[in-house]
Structure 1
Amino acid sequence: MSTDSRGILYPARLPSFRRVPAPAHLEDLVRWFWIPEWDIAAGRSSRQYVVAYPACNLVVEPERVTLSGPTTRLSYRDLTGRGWAVGALLRPAAVPSLIDAPAELRDSERLLDAPELHRPVVAAMRIAERDARHHEAVDAFAGWLAKRVRPASGEGLLANAMADLMDGDPDVRTLPDAATRLHVSPRTLQRLAIRHIGLAPVEMIRRRRLQEAAERVRLDADASLAQIATELGYADHAHLTREFRDRLGFTPSAYRRGL
């Protein structure tokens, strides 16, 4: 299990958070499962800010199942009381089985009628021992996905490769960069992104750079903002600051001070 916190702006505020790799038979459909748990004192709350990955998430909570679309801005949730969630960060190949037009869910979510998913995950999360309940919850989730989601098609695998490249290779900074690496046209990538993710490719690249910039600002106190901007492909410090302000609502300097 992994506790990697990329995309979470204030990981120290999370009471408990795990990322669990997808089992081998689902690696083309799920990037990982994620499980936060919290128990907040009465009268208090914990606000969690997230720069989400450019992807759809399927999420089971005690009272509901939701499918959330890709986001284009900072999102947050106020945690109160006691609770949990079990989510699957979906790979692009899985998305057409759950929604025809993921762009319709951009910056939003919809309830999913999936009692066969909800019941066993809720039952698993009632197990007292943490590792055991997480294992059982992921097994139940994976079993439902294996039955409900079609195996990855050739187009879906290409969409996965596009997402992996844009998310994992810092040298890919433009749509033509990605198209050249994958030996397809930019128009093909645009079509794949809209059908399988719900965002334009350029938005996917911008989201990765913003996640990386926030992580560097948070973890590398010795690096100047100008150095971070240059290393991540921003034109200059001012470009990085504008991106932070436009997408997150505050500057990188303010973020670093707030930590």
Structure 2
Amino acid sequence: MNPSVEKSVNAMLDGVPKGVLHPASGEQKFSLQRYAPSSEAGSFVQHYWIVRWDLRGQEPYRQTVIAHPNVNLVFEKNGTRIYGVGRSTTVRLVQDHGWVIGIKFKPGGFYPLFGAPVSRLTGRSIPLEDVFGVDSAPLEEKILQAPDDQEMVSRVETFLTPHLPSPDPNAALAHELVTAIRDDRNVIKVEDAVSLSGMNKRTLQRLFDRYVGISPKSVIQRYRLQEAAVRIDRGDVTDWLELSSELGYYDHSHFIRDFRSVVGMSPEEYRQKK
């Protein structure tokens, strides 16, 4: 492993990411580790993630995640594919035993490699070959047979680095805007994102369609509902009206409708299923 990659791999990112529903249950079924990219890949890659599980003799487990606005390239035995942004939630069936490694691209970070609107991938997946022009089978075997996480990440970066194009300023802008939406609770509707960006509404929507894959409205909604799920899972919620207000919902019923439309149940039903 070259020194720059080794340094980045050792900068492991701790904690369960937002959007993993009922994480306490999932932590009993699988392990998730995240690793920062090298500086060269960092313009495009948010992080690498590795999931390992051993459920031999146990029932399969279904993990649901509120989909993030990121494209993922997942190396999995006999199933390596590029996954576009999910339309609401994504579900992973964990069974038997195994491991996978994924590249989570930054919002906007996959477009320079794809060269077409990322919205074309939304809600679907495509073979690795369609973008990178290489046979995935031997690459998949080489990466997944690495002796440890560090070497697995190193092999992924060795594959990815020669394919990286020049940085795209619009990709960087898309990432900055998505990050700002995530971090600023005052952004609760598209008009707020328009003000934040300094663009007109149509230009912002075109940017997100091409570089992110979903609309600004959808990005706002997902981040607010991810935060709601985290608060519920932590047991921090005592008043639904107060929570909806803190998340920027002026109408409590609107919050409940959004939560149900994405998660598939009401906030109270979600809490009771813990």
Structure 2-normalised TM-score?
0.85
In the alignment, structure 1 residue 163 sits paired with structure 2 residue 183: no
For the 8 Å contact 2:75–2:144, the answer to whether it is kept is no
Counterpart CA distance in 2 for 1:40 and 1:233 is 40
Counterpart CA distance in 1 for 2:167 and 2:190 is 23
Residue aligning to 1:191? 206
Structure 2 portions without partners, runs of 5+? 1-11
The number of residues matched between the two structures is 255
2:78 corresponds to which letter in structure 1? E
For the 8 Å contact 1:124–1:134, the answer to whether it is kept is no
Q: Deviations over 1:5-55 (max 9, x none)?
A: 311002222421112222222222011111111111235201111112112
The verdict on how the C-alpha distance between 1:57 and 1:99 changes in structure 2, with shifts beyond 3 A counting, is: farther
1:106 is displaced (CA, Å) by 1.6
Indicate the percent of aligned positions where both proteins have the same amino acid: 27
In the alignment, structure 1 residue 136 sits paired with structure 2 residue 151: yes
For the 8 Å contact 1:56–1:70, the answer to whether it is kept is yes
Residue aligning to 2:124? 108
Q: Which secondary structure state, in structure 2, belongs to the residue aligned with residue 253 of structure 1?
A: helix
Residue aligning to 2:222? 207
Q: Deviations over 1:198-236 (max 9, x none)?
A: 111111111111111111111133432222111001123
For the 8 Å contact 2:100–2:144, the answer to whether it is kept is no
In the alignment, structure 1 residue 4 sits paired with structure 2 residue 55: no
The verdict on how the C-alpha distance between 1:4 and 1:243 changes in structure 2, with shifts beyond 3 A counting, is: same
Counterpart CA distance in 1 for 2:233 and 2:67 is 16
Segment drifting more, 111-120 vs 20-29: 111-120
2:262 corresponds to which letter in structure 1? R
In the alignment, structure 1 residue 126 sits paired with structure 2 residue 142: no
For the 8 Å contact 1:120–1:137, the answer to whether it is kept is no
For 1:1-259, list aligned pairs within 5 A.
Answer: 1=12, 2-12=14-24, 13-14=26-27, 15-42=30-57, 44-91=59-106, 92-98=108-114, 100-113=116-129, 115=134, 119=138, 122-128=141-147, 133-259=148-274
For the 8 Å contact 2:72–2:104, the answer to whether it is kept is yes
1:116 is displaced (CA, Å) by 6.9
Structure 1 portions without partners, runs of 5+? none
For the 8 Å contact 2:44–2:109, the answer to whether it is kept is yes
1:52 corresponds to which letter in structure 2? A
